[in-house]
Structure 1
């Protein structure tokens, strides 16, 4: 029974985070009886156990087989054209290489000829057998030919460079289409039993393919106290087949440099403990092995940004329709999108959300004299936002990048929006004193810090100031509070202190933090810092 091959173009694609479901639709007319229908070509990355066939018409599907067609070359038109271009460039480059080598040998021949003829002409001139004009004419002829040869070699060298660059560009294009370069293809052979003559059948073929993905990315634009969140879906694929403009859906289902506020770590004080000598194993020969590298911490890099005035009116963005399922959501972009199998990302707008925000500032002057603008935002939409990178804008100005976590409806999250240079922060050591131990007494070290915050913005600002007291881990070292003005709003057992200052435009606030460390006699203090 011969197979009837029909065209079944792609009419829909549902993209998951790590794969895609492709839908093809084709039709034909058949007489009554049993027939085999072939749908090809299909990509090699097709998951055979995911292939499903349905449709409409007076027929019954008896079975579906997936077969492999071996081919000498890829049947994809883009790949075929690129490979033809690569072969032509390779031939041109080989011809240029041959011509360059021939011209080089010609130049060497002329140089040897001139060298040997020089001695012959010298002897002929001495014997009176040659005239000086003959020698000059020969020399001019050889020099002219050498000049022409070297000119041609330079031209051939330029041609070789141009061909090499063109060939490299074609190779890069072929590399981008690596999924389509494999010559072999799959085919679905559907066996049907047709009930009536001249029956019109419509077949729908669906299957899963690997090598496709979509990832979320976001724009966060702060204007006054509203954050406009634009959610994009970045779709890319290298499945081996191009997706034409069709119904594209993005599903959250899974079949089967960031700007951050510095964090405080506990500040421990302890006695100096002697390190016991290390005993070498009997099997070790030579010196000690190198100690493991100590972890190095550094405060995160921060960017500086200036607020901009009100941005111009924004164009309206077309957003996707959403269909909420039990455990996932499916988004349908407003317009069809073509996605070639070259791995490049194609962006579709999923949603644009206007979210209310509470703004304040956070500073950790112990780490850096900077105030970070922070927005506490509630997700008032019905969307569960997936984790992904976000670009932060103040009005029309780009100021930072951050990363959003999973953000459920009704949930609040804190967004770091960059450094606000209009709040000036300073932390200074105001006083330090040490007392020596007398017989049977302890030593004391007392310090006092002053933290000042100035608001140079045109509006009131709430500033959260974080600092810390040291924490003792030894009975011979004790820490006593001396001065905390004003009292902190929050404190933890690990010595972290939090103040909240409310400053009007042009106002300043000051915090005084003092403490005393008592060290028992005979104890050497470890972990101290100014």
Structure 2
């Protein structure tokens, strides 16, 4: 199907689903079905994966797609195609090279003037001494000095011009590198089309949806949190930093963000049976079948039509035909067969003959050069006997009995390519491993995948790292614009309702500072991934913190830094004594006194954490004397260390509170340390 014989439909990008790496794009195209049903949908990016193209008809049950493939066209760009950044870079590059040339010519002139010096005439042995013309020498030296001064002054200006041109060229190169890759990167515009064949009512107006995958797109979640002091709820806005270099600008598209892997495995596990007795391995499926009947005569009409305009003739023997040879009828000159992968029955046949393709029988191995023929071969008369004195080649290997066994590459059905009528010999109309390699498309995809190495924003976490074992999808509430420049762009996804309260936490035994925290509870049915959150209190920006992953129904803390309005002081006292009938038990009495002062204008809730020693010795006893409580056992970051104790109290504005606690450590005399018991 050629471009002139097919109807061209323009397409528009409608929606994009950005995965952890890569994206799935959806385009819409509308038009009337032609009589032959052949349509070419334009506008696809150069970096798309050809194997990911999917097409479906919307709103027309009687029309279906019977064929869909990706084709690439090259044409000169139109007059309306603007590539401002590239043209500016080329202009500045020419200006930079011109400045370098002017400076180089000026340096050559300086070297020529500097080389001017007086040269006395040669003196013979019998000639008398001549007087030196000092005035002429001084006049020449003055001329050279004056000339060099003027040339060096001009050189300084040329050096400044070179530095300015180099700086402007570097700026233009940086803009070109960061610019959108949607514009053509060369003077020849490459257009990727979807060649479709529609089966249905001719002339009907239908709408097509084309879905394809592209590399070069990544995203990380970000948040913006706003709350009021004293309120028990807040507004958490989910945003996303998206970077893409797919080769097409996403303008006015619906954005969805997914944590799944676009290239994840889809093959199902197979459970094999366990047998008791003699080993009987189950035979693996061969993947081979008999060739279809009539395959040889399938291309008889194509061969009878003669060479077409698009069929390139093969190489002609140097020197022309031998004398007296009859002129043959015009026809396609056979091309030398390309090297084929190893076939089913062993190594490829000598002489470059390709092995049998998928779906065909294995040909008999040809006789070697020095072997005696056993009969007429498939492709010609019997081979001539070897010349006297020549060594006979070893006999060919005997092919294995049974059907051919395909290799792993030949069982990769997605990687098999159907050979066309221009192939030679038994390759026509059969499947062979490998597809045509497109180096230009590979370069586009390589450039697109460079966005995976972009440095992440502060506190940002990859979605696959924070999503865990589950995958989530977030749909943006409005359409967005994301250029293909490989830089981060922020997209607002939507607002999430979260429970929120402010609590203050201090661990005075480690640091006598009170820290403000936000206790977030996820009341939605969707997880909130880890990422940076911009916290605003009473419409005033406070700081950017790291939000941990919040599963549905989970409660986590987010630190906001020290609270200067609340002061804490801790004092301890240790008294050592003995007890027991023979004073054989050492008693270490620890007393803890904590004072809190609230200087904030409103009441606060403060959580004070202390620690009590733990022991694994049954003879050592620890007796607590305080109204603190042991925390519930948490998991992950919320897990408390053994021996943690917590005080929780509500502190009014301007109030002062005192907390007293303590514990006794009773150590038997046999467990005491020599020289005294070490203690804090």
Query: Whole-Å Cα distance in 2 between the matches of residues 360 and 109 of structure 1?
Result: 82
What CA deviation, in whole Å up to 9, does each residue of 1:22-67 have, x standing for no partner?
2223344564234242524433233523422425678542200123
Query: Whole-Å Cα distance in 1 between the matches of residues 30 and 172 of structure 2?
Result: 38
The answer on whether the counterparts of 1:44 and 1:186 sit within 8 Å (CA) in structure 2 is no
Query: Whole-Å Cα distance in 2 between the matches of residues 449 and 102 of structure 1?
Result: 85
Query: Whole-Å Cα distance in 2 between the matches of residues 93 and 507 of structure 1?
Result: 72
SS in 2 for 1:173: helix
What CA deviation, in whole Å up to 9, does each residue of 1:304-342 have, x standing for no partner?
xxxxxxxxxxxxxxxxxxxxxxx96653433x3221111
Counterpart among 187, 190, 195 of residue 189 in structure 1? 195
| Counterpart check, 1:331 vs 2:480 | no
| Counterpart check, 1:224 vs 2:229 | yes
Once the two structures are overlaid, the 10-residue window that deviates more, 505-514 or 350-359, is 350-359
Once the two structures are overlaid, the 10-residue window that deviates more, 519-528 or 222-231, is 519-528
| Counterpart check, 1:51 vs 2:54 | yes
Query: Whole-Å Cα distance in 1 between the matches of residues 131 and 492 of structure 2?
Result: 93
Question: Residues 231 and 41 of structure 1: is their aligned pair in 2 closer, same or farther, counting only changes over 3 Å?
Answer: closer
| Counterpart check, 1:372 vs 2:515 | yes
SS in 1 for 2:511: coil
The answer on whether the counterparts of 1:8 and 1:24 sit within 8 Å (CA) in structure 2 is no
After TM superposition, give the deviation of residue 253 of structure 1 in Å: 6.6
Q: Hey, what does 1:360 align to over in structure 2?
A: 503
Question: Residues 382 and 186 of structure 1: is their aligned pair in 2 closer, same or farther, counting only changes over 3 Å?
Answer: same
Q: Hey, what does 1:93 align to over in structure 2?
A: 96
Question: Residues 511 and 110 of structure 1: is their aligned pair in 2 closer, same or farther, counting only changes over 3 Å?
Answer: same
| Counterpart check, 1:504 vs 2:621 | no
The answer on whether the counterparts of 2:223 and 2:531 sit within 8 Å (CA) in structure 1 is yes
SS in 2 for 1:33: coil
**Structure holding more strand per residue:** 1
Q: Hey, what does 1:495 align to over in structure 2?
A: 643
SS in 2 for 1:480: strand
In structure 2, runs of 5+ residues without a counterpart are 122-128, 263-470, 633-640
Query: Whole-Å Cα distance in 2 between the matches of residues 59 and 85 of structure 1?
Result: 48
Counterpart among 19, 23, 35 of residue 32 in structure 1? 35
Question: Residues 403 and 332 of structure 1: is their aligned pair in 2 closer, same or farther, counting only changes over 3 Å?
Answer: same
After TM superposition, give the deviation of residue 480 of structure 1 in Å: 3.1
Q: Hey, what does 2:415 align to over in structure 1?
A: none
Q: Hey, what does 1:401 align to over in structure 2?
A: 544
Query: Whole-Å Cα distance in 1 between the matches of residues 653 and 515 of structure 2?
Result: 17
Give 1 or 2 for the bigger CA radius of gyration: 2
Counterpart among 580, 585, 609 of residue 466 in structure 1? 609
After TM superposition, give the deviation of residue 488 of structure 1 in Å: 0.7
> What are the equivalent positions in structure 2 for 1:141-152 lying under 5 Å apart?
141-152=143-154
Counterpart among 446, 451, 460 of residue 594 in structure 2? 451
Q: Hey, what does 1:65 align to over in structure 2?
A: 69
After TM superposition, give the deviation of residue 466 of structure 1 in Å: 0.3
Question: Residues 103 and 398 of structure 1: is their aligned pair in 2 closer, same or farther, counting only changes over 3 Å?
Answer: same
After TM superposition, give the deviation of residue 139 of structure 1 in Å: 4.2
The answer on whether the counterparts of 1:490 and 1:499 sit within 8 Å (CA) in structure 2 is no
| Counterpart check, 1:254 vs 2:398 | no
Query: Whole-Å Cα distance in 2 between the matches of residues 56 and 440 of structure 1?
Result: 95
After TM superposition, give the deviation of residue 423 of structure 1 in Å: 0.8
| Counterpart check, 1:385 vs 2:391 | no
Query: Whole-Å Cα distance in 1 between the matches of residues 181 and 608 of structure 2?
Result: 54
After TM superposition, give the deviation of residue 370 of structure 1 in Å: 1.6
Higher RCO (CA < 8 A, seq sep 6+) = 1
Query: Whole-Å Cα distance in 2 between the matches of residues 502 and 209 of structure 1?
Result: 56
TM-score, scaled relative to structure 1: 0.70
Query: Whole-Å Cα distance in 1 between the matches of residues 677 and 89 of structure 2?
Result: 66
The answer on whether the counterparts of 2:605 and 2:651 sit within 8 Å (CA) in structure 1 is yes
The answer on whether the counterparts of 1:54 and 1:205 sit within 8 Å (CA) in structure 2 is no
Q: Hey, what does 1:480 align to over in structure 2?
A: 622
Query: Whole-Å Cα distance in 2 between the matches of residues 165 and 186 of structure 1?
Result: 37
The answer on whether the counterparts of 2:594 and 2:658 sit within 8 Å (CA) in structure 1 is yes
SS in 2 for 1:2: coil
The answer on whether the counterparts of 1:470 and 1:479 sit within 8 Å (CA) in structure 2 is no
The answer on whether the counterparts of 2:13 and 2:26 sit within 8 Å (CA) in structure 1 is yes
Query: Whole-Å Cα distance in 2 between the matches of residues 364 and 154 of structure 1?
Result: 66
> What are the equivalent positions in structure 2 for 1:278-427 lying under 5 Å apart?
331-334=475-478, 336-352=479-495, 355-380=498-523, 384-407=527-550, 411-427=554-570
Counterpart among 222, 230, 244 of residue 237 in structure 1? 244
Question: Residues 513 and 77 of structure 1: is their aligned pair in 2 closer, same or farther, counting only changes over 3 Å?
Answer: farther
SS in 1 for 2:156: helix
Query: Whole-Å Cα distance in 2 between the matches of residues 143 and 398 of structure 1?
Result: 66
Query: Whole-Å Cα distance in 1 between the matches of residues 120 and 572 of structure 2?
Result: 92
Q: Hey, what does 2:208 align to over in structure 1?
A: 203
Q: Hey, what does 1:311 align to over in structure 2?
A: none
The answer on whether the counterparts of 1:13 and 1:20 sit within 8 Å (CA) in structure 2 is no
Query: Whole-Å Cα distance in 2 between the matches of residues 526 and 403 of structure 1?
Result: 46
- RMSD, matched Cα: 4.0
Query: Whole-Å Cα distance in 1 between the matches of residues 675 and 252 of structure 2?
Result: 71
Question: Residues 414 and 394 of structure 1: is their aligned pair in 2 closer, same or farther, counting only changes over 3 Å?
Answer: same
Query: Whole-Å Cα distance in 2 between the matches of residues 46 and 371 of structure 1?
Result: 55
The answer on whether the counterparts of 1:15 and 1:212 sit within 8 Å (CA) in structure 2 is no
Query: Whole-Å Cα distance in 2 between the matches of residues 146 and 83 of structure 1?
Result: 40
Query: Whole-Å Cα distance in 2 between the matches of residues 77 and 379 of structure 1?
Result: 50
